[in-house]
Amino acid sequence: MRRQHLVIMVKAPQAGRVKTRLAATIGAVEALRGYRVLLEGTVRRLGSDRRWITWLAVTPDGAAPRLAAWARDIAPVGVSPQGQGGLGERMQRLMDGLPPGPVVIVGSDIPAIGRRDVAAAFRALGGGDAVFGPAVDGGYWLVGQRRTPRTLRLFDRVRWSSEHTLADTLANLKGHSVSHLRTMSDVDGESDYLRWRRGGGYPVKPSTRII
């Protein structure tokens, strides 16, 4: 039976290694705490939905066992290392290697993403080849593909972390059917962070088990 697969891209929460752009203005400790809240909220919201199998794809690879132990208390998710290479190589590896069925990949720092967004992405893949959740900065907060009759190469020659990221990825999909979801933003800079806090997204304390 073909199942739907949701992948959440996760960085091991360590001060100075997550949300570095944000840390440059609010400090590494506060940026780490914010990331932990975002990560736990994302896993709790999306990881327990039985309409899809949820995977945490972890970097660095050595942190995967620790994240797996933490996740057991949060939601029934699988945990896998991302492996080596750039972001495109790592996401393509996930697209290539997961069991049969459509795959949707999201980040762990998009506070507005909910189950309805993921469900909408999988619905779009019921009749289309690929789906994107555009971000306000020219990138995307979600990418997915149907993977039938074959897995497409989405991420060749993509200029990551730029205003061209989505356009470059779409250029790899000429001749294929593509859907777009609503536009959202992640918590990347200080203005995003302050807007998220004002919106009430910060009062939940993250689990103390995660380092």
As a whole number of angstroms, the distance between CA 175 and CA 87 comes to 24
User: What sign does the CA torsion over 183, 187, 189, 195 have?
Assistant: positive
Distances (CA, A) of 63 to 10, 34, 54, 68, 81: 10, 19, 18, 9, 8
Q: Average of pLDDT values for 43-52?
A: 95
- Quick one: pLDDT at residue 208? 47
2: left (phi over 0), alpha (psi -120 to 50) or beta: beta
| Domains parsed from the chain with CATH numbers | 5-198 (3.90.550.10)
pLDDT, tens digit, 9 for 90 and up, residues 52-98: 999 999 999 999 999 999 998 899 999 999 999 999 999 999 999 99
User: What sign does the CA torsion over 151, 65, 60, 41 have?
Assistant: positive
pLDDT tops 90 at residue 1 = no
Q: Average of pLDDT values for 177-192?
A: 91
pTM: 0.92
As a whole number of angstroms, the distance between CA 164 and CA 25 comes to 25
pLDDT, tens digit, 9 for 90 and up, residues 162-182: 999 999 999 999 999 999 999
- Quick one: pLDDT at residue 211? 46
pLDDT, tens digit, 9 for 90 and up, residues 7-25: 999 999 988 889 988 899 9
